[in-house]
Chain A
Amino acid sequence: MECVFGLVGSDFVIVVADASAVNSILVHKTNEDKIMKLDSHKLIAASGESGDRVQFTEFIQKNVALYHFRNGIPLTTAAAANFTRGELATALRKNPYMVNILLAGFDRETGPSLYYIDYIATLHKVDKGAFGYGSFFCLSMMDRHYHSGMSVEEAVELVDKCIMEIRSRLVVAPPNFVIKIIDRDGAREYAWRESVKDTPAAQPEGLAV
């Protein structure tokens, strides 16, 4: 039921993930952020088993930060993607991580890029990709409407079309989605698409998670 998808535009990458944390038939929360910031210009959108997803992406995040500290320069998106794939591959025949990842990044020299990494350590550099049951609906929509060099408005319009399609056609469709974007200025949250709002508690959310 988890849906993760993304596409590359003219000088940006956009990634979308659903926001439900589910256990069998029970929805624990509907505002879970599944797109983690790897560094200032990289995002990792992951779907899969709850423990694996958080632990593995945090592991990658800390190792990317370690490289930056040790060497003074950040990893390129391609290098980070290959590192991630390598870790998944090493663990595959012993203690596999059940996580599917879309790694998105913007490099000063090469521009925006998106990498498709699935749980059996497949790695592809792609223009558009999707995981989960939502992929059945998004992939063809993106194939139909995508063209290289899309503007942010066109891309968000396509993303909204995909979200509408998932909401109307997937049997247990997640109600909320988070959209994040990376461009020259860095990675940031673009918007939430919510159709179910969790009743807010009076306290603001704590800083550290």
Chain B
Amino acid sequence: MDLILLSRNLSLPKIMKFDTSGLESTASVFGTAGNELVDGFSAAPAFELPTTTDFDGFQKEAVQMVKPAKGTTTLAFIFKDGVIVAADSRASMGGYISSQSVKKIIEINPYMLGTMAGGAADCQFWHRNLGIKCRLHELTNKRRISVTGASKLLANILFSYRGMGLSVGTMIAGWDETGPGLYYVDSEGGRLKGTRFSVGSGSPYAYGVLDSGYRADMSIEEAAELGRRAIYHATFRDGASGGVASVYYVGPDGWKKLSGDDVSELHYKYYPVVSTEAPEPDRMVEA
């Protein structure tokens, strides 16, 4: 822009130059403070851009910061007939899918289930250990341990290893004398009693479907379908979740595996390809 003005003032022969002033951004990279006076008159109203040269990287970093770290999707909820527990089956190591067939629902004993999110070894080992402790409780006390007790045992163990790098985000679901029970336990030592939980990087997506479709008076089939659908939608949006959506039901007689469906098959079941007849191309008319 300046060069063109210069040439006019000094009456130099007009240099044919592309006028690129329309493409110049009015917002400066180094900060917009102090530019208000200059831009106020000449420019259209402009919004401030974040002061970074790599906006895409900045945005990606922000998303990664808030996304839950454990690469999986697991969920569990209580309804009138018991507890539904559902999970995906993908194991990822960074960007590499190491397995599509991981068992993320762990059978602690015939009436209690645990879900796996975080470190696979940590979850498997400590759930197995919990199963041992539950059995010992049964033998010493001549009665089954409650879900409250089992989750507290696990939470206390994880709390004692706090800060040492265990990565466990699990839900303990079961049926005991007081009815259905569901607890969320994690490696920071947190333990929450609740009626609906989802854990893992796909959990925000699963929560959306789960919360909007939940009714306390669902039948077992409806509840299983809700769990399956929520896992499917999470695997669709989250790269670290996928494989097979397993659904378990815990009732008064213990747990029962209801289904294990490949999520890509579920995709075509929920959203079948509708064949559209390609319209006849217009014939070229001879001029």
Contacts from A to B (Cβ < 8 Å)? 21, 23-26, 28-29, 32, 49-52, 54-55, 95, 198-203, 205-209
Contacts and interface: CB of A to CB of B under 8 A. Distances in A.
Interface in B182-212: 184, 186, 188-197, 203-204, 207, 211
A72 B78 CA distance: 43
B216 A51 contact: no
A206 B181 contact: yes
B189 A201 contact: no
A202 B216 contact: yes
B194 A29 contact: yes
B159 interface: yes
Contacts, number: 84
Given A49-B188, A207-B178, A202 B217 contact: yes
B178 A198 contact: no
A208 B216 contact: no
A64 to B, nearest CB: 19
Nearest to B183: A209
B78 A51 contact: no
B184 A202 contact: no
Interface of B: 66, 68, 77-80, 146, 148, 155-156, 158-159, 162-163, 178-181, 184, 186, 188-197, 203-204, 207, 211, 214-217
A209 B148 contact: yes
Nearest to B149: A208
Contacts of A208: 146, 148, 178
Given A199-B216, A208-B148, A32 B180 contact: no
A29 B217 CA distance: 20
Contacts of B66: 24-25
Contact of B79 (A54, A201, A206): A201
Contact of B180 (A198, A199, A200, A203): A203
B188 A26 contact: no
Contact of A28 (B180, B197, B215): B197
A41 B132 CA distance: 39
A21 B215 CA distance: 22
B122 to A, nearest CB: 15
18 contacts: A23-B68, A25-B66, A26-B68, A49-B188, A49-B189, A50-B188, A51-B162, A51-B188, A51-B189, A51-B191, A54-B190, A55-B159, A199-B211, A199-B214, A201-B216, A203-B80, A206-B181, A208-B148
B203 A26 contact: yes
B217 to A, nearest CB: 7
A53 B101 CA distance: 37
Contacts of B78: 201, 203
Given A50-B189, A201-B78, A28 B214 contact: no
Nearest to A32: B192
A28 B189 contact: no
A91 to B, nearest CB: 12
Given A24-B66, A208-B146, A202 B79 contact: yes
| Most chain B CB atoms below 10 A, which of A21, A24, A26 | A26
Contact of A26 (B79, B162, B191, B207): B207
A26 B180 contact: no
A1 B184 CA distance: 21
Given A26-B68, A51-B162, A21 B216 contact: no
Given A28-B192, A50-B189, A201-B77, 4 more contacts: A50-B191, A205-B193, A206-B148, A206-B181
A203 B192 contact: no
Nearest to A28: B192
> Which 10 residue pairs are nearest across A and B when measured between Cβ atoms?
A51-B189, A50-B190, A202-B80, A201-B195, A206-B178, A201-B78, A202-B216, A25-B66, A51-B190, A51-B188
Contacts of B188: 49-51
Nearest to B194: A29
B192 A29 contact: yes
A55 B189 contact: yes
B203 A50 contact: no
Contact of B195 (A49, A51, A198, A209): A198
Contacts of A55: 156, 159, 189
